[in-house]
Every structure is written in structure tokens, then in C-alpha cells.
Amino acid sequence: MSATTFPLRAEWAKFTTLRSLWTTPLLAVALSAGITAVVQFSYGKTDTSLTEDPMEGVFYGLNFGQVAVVCLGILLVGQEYASGTLATSLAAVPDRVRFFRGKLLLGTGLGLAVGVLSVAGQLAATEASVGLDLSAPGTARALAAGVLYHPLLLVLCLSLTTVLRNQTAALGLLSPMVFLGTTALSAIPGVRDVTQFLPDRAGLYAMRLHDAPDVHYGHTTGLLLAAAWTALAVAAGLRTLRRRDA
């Protein structure tokens, strides 16, 4: 068995046997697609905030579904800190780089799957309710960004939980920050210029079609900013895992 396959299979076994893990991505898809469907069928043809930039309507449910993505990233490693089984996991995979790589691979795969299913569901709901011009400039880029945002956010939260080494602290900090914190901060004049560079705000902006005059970068750059934050978090998580006791 290869050095990569064993940690990944071990992580997959944990994921499929813990209900709190395998139900969370299902919840993420259900929230994103379900809320978009309800909003589009109810208000999609009358609410101008959903029609001026069509992607505002398509990804409306993502504002709620992303919280479940955050929780999944936290749980993939946080439950081992919470239950005290991290030492057992490291005994099975003593190489901490391999151990962390297995979690990153699983997290990336799950994030991509959630992204594809969520975007497909939100797109189908929009097509069935108000319609969408898929040939409009930037549409393919925005939909691709919507898919990629999920694994980036999931891996970011997984890595930050490894840095915090505490599931409760990660849930208490990351979930409300993504759901309400950065949104509230971005509404404050002056602070907005800083918060637009945070990973979730940059990633969400990458999904828009139209430019915002108060955002200081382009849509593609937004996705790159989210990727850069994720890369920094991965490096910090690996450093913490290698230097701290289980």
C-alpha cells in the first residue's frame, strides 16, 4: 500500500463511520440548493438584488450552506482533538506529514463533491424559476469559482482547526465569522477596505458577474486571494502539527 493511500483510506474510514461527518456535506448541499430554490421561486422575478447580478440569485443559498462546509472542515480534524484520539491516529500514521496530507486530500475531495452538487442544484433551481443566460460573459468563470470555493473554504477551516488544536474554539470562532462576522464588518465604512481581502469575501466576490466599484481587485484575483489564504493556513497547520504534542 502506498504512502499516500493508507492515510487517505484511514481518513475515509473515519469519515464514513461517524454520522456527524458524513451527514454534514449532505446538509451543506441541501442548504445551498434548497434555500436558493425557495428564494428564486418566491422572489427571483421581483427582487432586483437577485436580478441585477444573476449570480447573486444563483448563489443566494451558499451564504447558508457555507456554514456547513466550515463545520465539516472543523470536524474532520477537530473531533480527534475533542475525543482525544489524535494520539491513536498518529500511532497508526506516525509520519505527521502523511497524516495531514491524508486529511487534506479527503477534505479537498469532499469539498469538490459538495461544490459540484451545490452549484448544480442552485443552477437547476435558477433555471427552473427565473432562467439564466449561460452564454453571458463571465458565467462559466463564476460557476467554476462557486465549485472551487467549497474545497478552499473546507481546507482553510481544517487547517485553522489544526492550528487552534481545539474543536470548540474553532466552531465558536470560524462558523460565526464566516456566517455573520465578515458580512457585518464589510458594512462598516473604512473597515470594508480591509475585510474585502479576507478569504470568504474574496472567494464570494469571485462568483459575481459584475464589478463592484469599491472592491480593489478583479473576480479571478478574488479566487486567487482565497487560494493564497488557504495555502498559508495549510502551512501553519502542518507546522503546528509537527511541532506540538498530540
**pLDDT tens digits for range 177-214:** 887 788 888 778 778 888 899 999 999 999 999 998 88
The pLDDT score that the predictor gives to residue 113 is 98
Could you tell me which of 143, 95, 99, 93 has the C-alpha nearest to residue 121?
143
Measure the CA angle with vertex 104, ends 98 and 110; round to 5°: 140
* Identity at 154, one-letter amino acid code: L
The pLDDT score that the predictor gives to residue 191 is 81
Per-residue pLDDT, averaged over 8-13, amounts to 90
The pLDDT score that the predictor gives to residue 183 is 80
CA torsion angle for 225, 233, 146, 174 (degrees, to 10)?
-110
The pLDDT of residue 156 is above 70: yes
Please indicate, yes or no, whether the overall pTM of this predicted structure exceeds 0.75: yes
The pLDDT score that the predictor gives to residue 3 is 52
Helix residue ranges, H only, the chain: 5-17, 19-43, 48-51, 55-58, 62-83, 86-92, 96-129, 139-164, 167-176, 182-186, 192-195, 199-205, 219-243
Instruction: Please provide residue 177's backbone torsions phi and psi, each rounded to the nearest 5 degrees.
Output: -65, -45
The pLDDT score that the predictor gives to residue 45 is 85
CA distances (Å), origin 212, targets 56, 137, 139, 188 = 13, 16, 16, 16
Q: Residue 2 — very low, low, confident or very high, per pLDDT cuts 50/70/90?
A: low
User: Please, what is the average pLDDT of the chain?
Assistant: 92
The pLDDT score that the predictor gives to residue 20 is 85
Whether the Cβ atoms of residue 93 and residue 99 lie closer than 8 Å to each other: yes
